[in-house]
Amino acid sequence: MACTILMAPSNVQAIKCLDGQNYVGLKPSTTQKFISAGRAIKTHSRSLFIVRASEKRDESLKDLKKMGLSDEECEAAVVAGNAPDAPPVPPKAVAPARTPVVPSLVSEEDTPIGAMPGCYRLGWRHGLVEEVSKARDVGVNNIVLFPKVPDALKSPTGDEAYNENGIVPRAIRLLKDKYPDLVIYTDVALDPYSSDGHDGIVREDGVIMNDETVHQLCKQAVAQARAGADVVSPSDMMDGRVGAIRAALDAEGFQHVSIMSYTAKYASAFYGPFREALDSNPRFGDKKTYQMNPANFREALVEARADEAEGADILLVKPGLPYLDIIRLLRDSSPLPIAAYQVSGEYSMIKAGGVLKMIDEEKVMMESLMCLRRAGADIILTYFALQAARCLCGEKR
């Protein structure tokens, strides 16, 4: 039997309760009743102890005493089941009328992307986990996270990029908790977090500030690694950022975190649908001052050698299909793994052609991925990942 002793300690040596246990140092009450679960017991001492089996019973006795009944009458009424009803539960407080409803800054709902049929802005808590579960079911265990950041969190210096409670670190922790063996790649760049929409910090005269941007990127990469990222992927195209990020990660004890560098990222028109998806178009100008000229293939070799020297683990070419020659160029000149990014424009063109019945979507999809592999890509980033994996597994769309 569980009982609660109500009195404070005194110089009493030991008292034996109804359950046979000895209780030491209990101060006697001034009454002569020992109230237990359902009956009153006369004792041989004037000093007795009050014991209650529940808060509800004690409150019932108090209510009966308010009606002018003696202790014996109160106890008999409770035993007979005639205790008064408990007071009603007070109503839950509500906001005053006309109080505005403030929605969460980070959406937890899946939102379809008009320019990319079949793709969604995934709610970070549920939709993302469900999509990863589907991918793992067909053998895809490597994902890349790209955030859609609310405008209210954007700033000229993109400080939200290294907020350890931001959407990307939270998503990493959530996924790693659910799937510890999942391989998570992250994007390291300021454009999703910048109020200017550029990959770097913009000076008043419109110049992109290289070194100041690299400083921010290092903090972003460390925050992602601390959350559990396996591979950080600087896509900003700032000079010297790979070496700086490698040094920052090593200094914080993240020597095991790899770097996939966007080595040859061209200033391409194929990025349009993705920028609509993340609402990350530059507020002014374009990205041609730091992304590569589509007509220049030699620069890819220069960037590849610099990234190798600075500690990159993977070299990436973006876009994919229009730059098969660059993939092959890097494959033939570097011992590092080569990644190819089949970007949103490539995806949307194939999807549109399939919807209009101008091409066989599935066959063109698989052929486009095979071309990237044939050119020398060891890793392919594609929005077709789930669909292609299902095709390879023999599943129907």
Catalytically active residues are 265, 318
Largest CA distance in the chain: 105
Q: From start to end of the chain, where are the E strands?
A: 4-5, 15-16, 22-23, 34-35, 40-41, 51-52, 111-112, 120-121, 142-145, 183-188, 201-202, 208-209, 231-234, 258-265, 314-318, 338-342, 379-382
Cα(95)–Cα(1) distance, integer angstroms:
44
Cα(200)–Cα(222) distance, integer angstroms:
18
Q: 308-312: list long-range contacts, CB under 8 Å, 24+ apart.
A: 308/334, 308/336, 309/243, 310/240, 310/242, 310/243, 310/246, 311/242, 311/243, 311/246, 311/259, 312/242, 312/259, 312/260, 312/261, 312/263, 312/336
* 234 three-state secondary structure: strand
* 144 three-state secondary structure: strand
- Pick the closest to residue 338 from 261, 270, 265 (CA basis): 261
Cα(325)–Cα(375) distance, integer angstroms:
7
DSSP strand pairing (231-234 vs 183-188): parallel
CB atoms within 10 A of CB 81: 6
- Pick the closest to residue 340 from 368, 366, 362 (CA basis): 368
* 185 three-state secondary structure: strand
Residues 296/338/258/221 CA torsion (nearest 10 deg): 30
Tell me if the bond preceding 28 is cis, omega within 30° of 0.
no
* 197 three-state secondary structure: coil
H helix or E strand, kind and range, residue 364? helix 361-375
Residues 228/231/237/243 CA torsion (nearest 10 deg): 90
Angle between helices 210-227 and 241-251 in degrees, nearest 10: 40
